[in-house]
Chains A and B, each alone.
Chain A
Amino acid sequence: MRNRNSFEKFATLVAQGTVIAALLIAWEGLAGGFGLNLKTLDPVFFSRPSRVAADLINGLSKGEFTRDFLFTIQTSMWGLVLGIVSGIAVGFLFAYLPWLNRLFEPLMVAFNSLPRPALAPVLVLILGLGMASKIVLSWSIVFFIVFYNTYAGIMSVDPDLVKVARIMGSNRFQIFRHVIMPSVFSWVFAALRVSVAFALVGAVVGEFVGSTQGLGYQMEAARGVLNSDRVYSILLILMMIGVVLTEISKAIERRLLRWRPPSPGI
């Protein structure tokens, strides 16, 4: 059984690798590689895998990405942390003070409906080209995700759990600590993966619009001088950052929500 399983895993891996390799080879060939000189994909715009790899290695060895990489990571992590903390805080506030919720509901709905990248120009205008405008943009996305999850988490606390906790003699604080909080955190952590991904989106979009640093900025600068190799290199780096952050949040989720039945199929 185990053998069969590990064989299947191996076969899947090979198949997946083949698909990726085929796409890369096609890209390389169609963009003038392998001495074929095909120009189906103009390498000026499409570059090609070998050139991207060369540029990536070259850039990495010279440390050309380091500063911008750190900038992007810092802004998105600040956006993430601030978004989570404020989202939880405001979620609780609104859940416990229904009048506050009623008062602000239209405003919250309006802001949440706003495509957040559209805020970028405004934020750059107000906060300048530095880190602040990107952090706020990143925050503005994460905040709503966490806020709505916190609110939903509080509203969906199982009343039977509150009931038994109360009959067993729990005071208000203990009910909050042992029933409400775990329930809310399960919602917030379930949304962690999405939050992390959107924190990165916020940071990069902010850098596109107006910045002096960051991977988004460097990409935009490379585009300006038609350096397509560099554009794709940065795309690859961003992809890697996304994958790593997603895996980290998955691990956190698994650890903290191990009491949940595994969802079928995933």
Chain B
Amino acid sequence: MKQSKIRLDNVSASYGSADQQNLVQVLHNVNLDVQEGEFVSIVGPSGCGKSTILNLAAGLWSSADGAISGSIKVDHADRKQTIGYVLQKDALFPWRTLIKNVEYPLEITGLPRKQREEIAREWIDRVGLAGFEDRYPYQLSGGMRQRANIIRVLAYDPEIVLMDEPLGALDAHTRMVLQQQISDLWSASRKTVVFVTHDLEEAILLSTRVVLMTKRPATVSASRTIDLPYPRTVMNLKLTPEFRNLYENLWHEFCDLLR
């Protein structure tokens, strides 16, 4: 029996000041249960509050942001660095080289230089960035920066990985390469992942389950298990009838949500 890692029960959330006048409701009675080892994609119209769910799960919501109701339970060990959060914008430290960026989370826990360098190098090799260790972020392409952004989070081995449209800003080709890498990394580690995207195809290609959200105030409108075996080859998977079936199925619902 798997245990649930993130559980939202009837969660509603509104941004704005507490004086109730200019509150904007983003989430309305959201129920979401992410089990250990699931790769759940959240798909919905832009601005519907997908990122808010990640912020809630990461514990980044403060009372100053607005009001929430309902219950949010995130199950993780009692230590730091149990949650990894990958932002759409690659938030690399511009004054650190690639390897120093990947080392950062290990550095602040006091891991000795040699060990953290070793771990960082391993991750850099895995995503094909070897040879670029000593480049500064401005010297890397967008795809390389986003790869660095992702492995910086994976380097400290979090229990839960939250990703907020990590591939949203990339060109189609780079996007596909990174989708494959994310898929490979996931099938090797089977971590609990919540992946926010506005791209339904990407969601189906990567996930074990796709969750559709409505327009704002958003609520969960559908949850579909994607029963395709891993490891997946993103490029080929797109062309299989199984994928097309799932895609068409969800596409109609997705379009209804946009109306």
Pairs A–B under 8 Å by Cβ, sample size 12: A158-B91, A163-B60, A163-B85, A164-B91, A165-B104, A167-B83, A170-B108, A171-B108, A174-B108, A179-B93, A259-B136, A261-B138
Is the C-beta of A169 less than 8 angstroms from some C-beta in chain B? Answer: yes
> Which residues of chain A (184-228) have a CB below 8 Å from chain B?
186
Chain B contributes a number of interface residues (CB within 8 A of A) equal to 25
Per the bound structure, the CA–CA distance linking A258 and B60 in Å amounts to 33
Per the bound structure, the CA–CA distance linking A163 and B81 in Å amounts to 13
Asked if residues B91 and A161 are in contact (CB atoms below 8 Å), the reply is yes
Asked if residues B138 and A259 are in contact (CB atoms below 8 Å), the reply is yes
Is the C-beta of A260 less than 8 angstroms from some C-beta in chain B? Answer: yes
Task: Provide the residues of chain B in CB contact with A179, threshold 8 Å.
Answer: 93
CB distance from B258 to the nearest CB of A (A): 28
Nearest CB in chain B to that of A173: its residue:
B108
Task: Provide the residues of chain A in CB contact with B182, threshold 8 Å.
Answer: none
Task: Provide the residues of chain B in CB contact with A169, threshold 8 Å.
Answer: 80-81, 105, 108-109, 156
Asked if residues A168 and B156 are in contact (CB atoms below 8 Å), the reply is yes
Asked if residues B60 and A168 are in contact (CB atoms below 8 Å), the reply is no
Per the bound structure, the CA–CA distance linking A186 and B60 in Å amounts to 28
Task: Provide the residues of chain A in CB contact with B94, threshold 8 Å.
Answer: 259-260
Per the bound structure, the CA–CA distance linking A108 and B153 in Å amounts to 43
Is the C-beta of A178 less than 8 angstroms from some C-beta in chain B? Answer: yes
> Which residues of chain B (194-211) have a CB below 8 Å from chain A?
none
Per the bound structure, the CA–CA distance linking A239 and B80 in Å amounts to 56
Asked if residues B87 and A259 are in contact (CB atoms below 8 Å), the reply is no
Task: Provide the residues of chain A in CB contact with B84, threshold 8 Å.
Answer: 167
Asked if A168 meets B108 with Cβ closer than 8 Å, knowing A259-B95, A259-B96, the reply is yes
Asked if A168 meets B104 with Cβ closer than 8 Å, knowing A160-B87, A259-B136, the reply is yes
CB distance from A184 to the nearest CB of B (A): 11
- Interface bracket on A: 20 to 34
Asked if A163 meets B87 with Cβ closer than 8 Å, knowing A169-B81, A178-B104, A179-B93, the reply is yes
Per the bound structure, the CA–CA distance linking A178 and B107 in Å amounts to 11
Asked if A260 meets B91 with Cβ closer than 8 Å, knowing A167-B84, A168-B104, the reply is no
Task: Provide the residues of chain B in CB contact with A163, threshold 8 Å.
Answer: 60, 85, 87, 91
Per the bound structure, the CA–CA distance linking A190 and B136 in Å amounts to 18
Is the C-beta of B58 less than 8 angstroms from some C-beta in chain A? Answer: yes
Nearest CB in chain A to that of B82: its residue:
A169
Nearest CB in chain A to that of B86: its residue:
A164
Per the bound structure, the CA–CA distance linking A163 and B89 in Å amounts to 12
CB distance from A113 to the nearest CB of B (A): 33
Main secondary structure, interface of B, reads loop
Task: Provide the residues of chain B in CB contact with A170, threshold 8 Å.
Answer: 108
CB distance from A185 to the nearest CB of B (A): 9
* Additional 17 contacts, C-beta under 8 A, given A160-B87, A169-B156: A158-B91, A161-B93, A163-B85, A163-B91, A164-B91, A165-B104, A167-B83, A167-B84, A168-B105, A168-B156, A174-B108, A178-B104, A186-B95, A259-B94, A259-B95, A259-B137, A260-B138
> Contact check: which of A167, A178, A259, A260 meets B85 at CB < 8 Å?
A167
Per the bound structure, the CA–CA distance linking A167 and B94 in Å amounts to 18
CB distance from B238 to the nearest CB of A (A): 32
Asked if A160 meets B91 with Cβ closer than 8 Å, knowing A167-B60, A260-B138, A261-B138, the reply is yes
Per the bound structure, the CA–CA distance linking A258 and B97 in Å amounts to 11
Q: Interface 1/0s, chain B 145-162, versus A by CB < 8 A?
A: 000000011001000000
Nearest CB in chain B to that of A261: its residue:
B138
Q: Interface 1/0s, chain B 115-130, versus A by CB < 8 A?
A: 0000000000000000
Those 9 A-B pairs whose CB atoms lie nearest each other, nearest first? A169-B80, A160-B91, A168-B105, A261-B138, A259-B136, A164-B91, A167-B85, A169-B81, A259-B95
Task: Provide the residues of chain B in CB contact with A160, threshold 8 Å.
Answer: 87, 89, 91
Nearest CB in chain B to that of A171: its residue:
B108
Asked if residues B95 and A164 are in contact (CB atoms below 8 Å), the reply is no
Task: Provide the residues of chain A in CB contact with B108, threshold 8 Å.
Answer: 168-171, 174, 178
Asked if residues A178 and B93 are in contact (CB atoms below 8 Å), the reply is yes
Per the bound structure, the CA–CA distance linking A174 and B156 in Å amounts to 17
Asked if residues A167 and B58 are in contact (CB atoms below 8 Å), the reply is yes
Is the C-beta of A130 less than 8 angstroms from some C-beta in chain B? Answer: no
Is the C-beta of A182 less than 8 angstroms from some C-beta in chain B? Answer: yes
> Contact check: which of B80, B104, B136 meets A258 at CB < 8 Å?
B136
Most central of B81, B97, B104 by chain A CB within 10 Å: B104
CB distance from B192 to the nearest CB of A (A): 16
Nearest CB in chain B to that of A161: its residue:
B91
Task: Provide the residues of chain B in CB contact with A174, threshold 8 Å.
Answer: 108
Nearest CB in chain A to that of B89: its residue:
A160
> Which residues of chain A (136-182) have a CB below 8 Å from chain B?
158, 160-161, 163-165, 167-171, 174, 178-179, 182
Most central of A171, A174, A178, A258 by chain B CB within 10 Å: A178
